[in-house]
Amino acid sequence: MSGLKEILSTVKGFNPLQQVKEGAVDIVKDLAGKGMDLFSKVQDGKISAEQAKIDFEKFKIDAETQTENNITERWKADADGSWLKSNVRPLALCWALGNATLMIWSDSMKWIVIEDKWIPLLTQLLLTIVGGYFALRSIFDKNKTKK
C-alpha cells in the first residue's frame, strides 16, 4: 500500500502536456528573440547578413545539443531511484510492442480493422518508443563504461 501512495503522490499534479507546452513556448521565445536580436544588428550595420545566418545556425545547434543533453540527464535521473522510475521506459517498450503485435495479428485475422488514417500515427509512435529506447540506452551504456 505504501508503494501505491508513493506512486500517487508522484503522479498528483503532474501534467505532461503543460510541461511540453511550456517547453515549446520557451524554445520559440528563445529562437524568436535570437532572430530579432540578429536582425536588429544587421539593420544597424553591426554584422553582415551572412554572419547573422551563421550565428543563428550556431544558436540552433547549441539549442539542439542542450535539448539532447537534457534528455540524457533525464534518462540518468530515471535510472537512479525507485523501481518504477527505472523501469517505466522498458515497460512502455513492452506495452507498445505487445499492442502493436496484437493489433497487427487482430487486423490480419479480420477481428478488428485498423483504418488507414491510424497507421502512420501508430508507426511513428512505435518507431519513437523503440528507437528512443535503444538509441538512448546504448548512449547511456557507452557513457557508463567510459567512467
Residue 74 to residues 9, 27, 64, 91, 135, Cα–Cα distance (Å): 20, 18, 15, 17, 14
Q: Each residue of 2-59: pLDDT tens digit?
A: 555 555 555 455 455 555 556 667 777 777 787 788 888 888 888 888 888 888 888 8
Q: Quick one: 3 and 75 in the same domain?
A: yes
Of all helices (H) and strands (E), which one includes residue 113? none
- Cβ-based burial of 93 (10 A; exposed 0-12, middle 13-18, buried ≥19): middle
Q: Quick one: 75 and 89 in the same domain?
A: no
Residue 57 to residues 69, 81, 92, Cα–Cα distance (Å): 18, 38, 35
Asked if residues 40 and 108 have their Cβ atoms less than 8 Å apart, the reply is no
pLDDT band with cut points at 50, 70 and 90 for residue 143: low
Q: Quick one: 58 and 96 in the same domain?
A: no
Alpha-carbon gap, residue 20 to 15, rounded angstroms: 9
Q: Where are the alpha helices (DSSP H) in 1-48?
A: 2-11, 16-43
Picking from 80, 102, 117, the residue at the C-terminal end of a domain is 80
Grid cell for residue 15? 501534467
Picking from 57, 80, 103, the residue at the C-terminal end of a domain is 80
- pTM, entire model: 0.41
Picking from 48, 80, 112, the residue at the C-terminal end of a domain is 80
Q: Quick one: 70 and 43 in the same domain?
A: yes
Domain of 128, in residue numbers: 81-147
Asked if residues 69 and 95 have their Cβ atoms less than 8 Å apart, the reply is no
Specify the pLDDT at position 55. 84
In this model, does residue 111 exceed pLDDT 60?
Answer: yes
Alpha-carbon gap, residue 107 to 100, rounded angstroms: 10
Q: Each residue of 66-98: pLDDT tens digit?
A: 878 877 777 777 666 677 777 777 888 899 899
